[in-house]
Amino acid sequence: MRQEELKRNPTSSFQGGGGLSDLVGSLGWKGMGILILLCILATIIYSVFFQ
């Protein structure tokens, strides 16, 4: 139901929030996995260089 609403009115997520569920829905599971990996790598690199 949410997907159909987004297809009809793609700007509604910006007006009403939507949050993480809209982000995950638009990226898919592969995109979300890559995003999580990037966050973990950025945390590790930050901790190595700024200790």
Tell me, what's the pLDDT at 2? 60
The pLDDT tens digits for 1-50 are 666 665 666 555 455 556 777 777 787 888 888 999 999 999 999 999 98
Entry pTM? 0.52
Residue 25 and residue 2 in contact, taking contact as beta carbons nearer than 8 Å: yes
Tell me, what's the pLDDT at 17? 59
Tell me, what's the pLDDT at 39? 96
Tell me, what's the pLDDT at 42? 97
**What is the number of structural domains in the chain?**
1
Q: How many other β-carbons are positioned within 10 Å of the β-carbon of residue 24?
A: 13
Domain of residue 31: give its range.
Answer: 2-49
Rg (CA), the chain: 16
